[in-house]
Amino acid sequence: MAGNSFGQLFRITTFGESHGGAVGCVIDGCPPGISITEAEIQKELDRRKPGQSKITTPRKEADTIKILSGYFEGKTTGTPILLIAYNADVKSEDYLELKEAYRPSHADFTYEAKYGFRDWRGSGRASARETLARVAAGAIAQKYLKEKLGIEILSYIDQVGDIKAAVDFETVTPEAIESNIIRCPDQAAAEKMIALVEKVKSEGDSVGGVIQGVIRNVPPGLGEPVFDKLSADLGKGMLSINAVKGFEIGSGFAGVSGRGSEHNDPLEVRDGKIRTTKNDAGGTYGGISSGETIHFRVAFKPVSTIAKEQDTVTRDKRPTKLSAAGRHDPCVLPRAVPIVDAMSALVVMDHHLRHKAQNG
């Protein structure tokens, strides 16, 4: 209940700071018999790892995942799975400045307010390094959902700064997403986005953006009224990712302006199935999946770690200035795409198991 677990039945508990012994997670409730390899998990992690392109941080991190339990002869056993990535040794001295000064818009001040003291090396538990555990667990869920249920999960960059992409979420492919380093399938927009990120990087600054999430082939009936709506759990999952400040599903904020008669999705029979003629709802009604594609958007603020000098204060309330010495991401979005995918997979997997329990 201290907030480090996600999911009810496919339940992950993550652990680890950026500069302790390791980061990782335990998955409890994973069905037995899923064929998965460390290499398959690593593939997803490599989409998240630093240093993958000229627009991500060149920082080196040991992101090698190990499966240490709940696994036998290439398959999950149904018992808890420990996924772990060891941290490289670091010199705490590199962080001495942060021992006293709070970085603006970081969790330094709030963690100290909460716990009374904090691990001041890097960002401690608030480090985005924690998300590698989510990506690793999500890779197992994605494998199951794809193979057992044909569910396809993907996401891509929809906006960076003011540059917006034009993409049809119904038809976009994983290949198109991976075709450039910013993971935006609109190639013209992608080029502008990359140029913007490089400019921002050269200025020692950062920029935000929006990721579009897509989940296809979810069968009708997933989601638990009234609080654990599929839409509400997706929202919570996305809002728990570092730097996320907004979530909208279907028509979202833009949809508030229209009329009900325009916004409602008419029902029809298509190919012998009950379908909607459009999908402004985003794939759920009453929080339960309709069988249509689930689509949503996630807003990421510009990351707070920047090279530019900023005003701040120390623990003992003296004004000071800080500028990030290390090498940081000017834009987290390309690396956040697999995290959004992972959170989608964790939410859908959990609701699939919950549905099986009560209605299966």
Q: Could you tell me which stretch among 135-143, 145-153, 174-182, 241-249 binds a second copy (CB under 8 A)? A: 241-249
Residue 72 to residue 33: CA distance in whole angstroms: 9
The token duo for 30 is 């994973």
- Name the DSSP letter for residue 73: T
* Cα torsion angle, 288, 132, 42, 299, sign: positive
Q: Evaluate whether 180 touches 171 at the Cβ level (below 8 Å).
A: no
Which amino acid belongs to residue 35? S
Q: Considering the rule CB under 8 A, would residue 174 count as an interface residue with a second copy?
A: no
Site for a second copy in 32-71 (CB under 8 A): 32-33, 66-71
Residues sharing a CB contact under 8 Å with residue 5, sequence separation 6 or more, in sequence order:
11, 12, 13
Q: Considering the rule CB under 8 A, would residue 242 count as an interface residue with a second copy?
A: yes
Cα 36 to its chain centre, rounded Å, is: 21
Q: Considering the rule CB under 8 A, would residue 20 count as an interface residue with a second copy?
A: yes
Q: Which of 51, 150, 174, 286 binds a second copy (CB under 8 A)?
A: 286
Q: Considering the rule CB under 8 A, would residue 77 count as an interface residue with a second copy?
A: yes
3-state DSSP assignment of residue 206: coil
The token duo for 335 is 């690396």
The token duo for 21 is 């012994």
* CB closer to a second copy, 16 vs 50: 16
Residue 300 to residue 211: CA distance in whole angstroms: 8
CA dihedral 45, 51, 52, 54 (to 10 degrees): 150
Q: Which of 45, 55, 122, 130 binds a second copy (CB under 8 A)?
A: 130
Q: Which of 42, 221, 293, 327 binds a second copy (CB under 8 A)?
A: 221
Q: Which of 88, 93, 175, 261 binds a second copy (CB under 8 A)?
A: 261
* CB closer to a second copy, 156 vs 300: 300
User: Minimum CB separation from a second copy for residue 333, in Å?
Assistant: 9
User: Minimum CB separation from a second copy for residue 144, in Å?
Assistant: 12
Q: Could you tell me which stretch among 40-48, 55-63, 143-151, 313-321 binds a second copy (CB under 8 A)? A: 313-321
Site for a second copy in 79-118 (CB under 8 A): 79-82, 102, 104-111, 113-118
Q: Could you tell me which stretch among 29-37, 55-63, 135-143, 146-154 binds a second copy (CB under 8 A)? A: 29-37
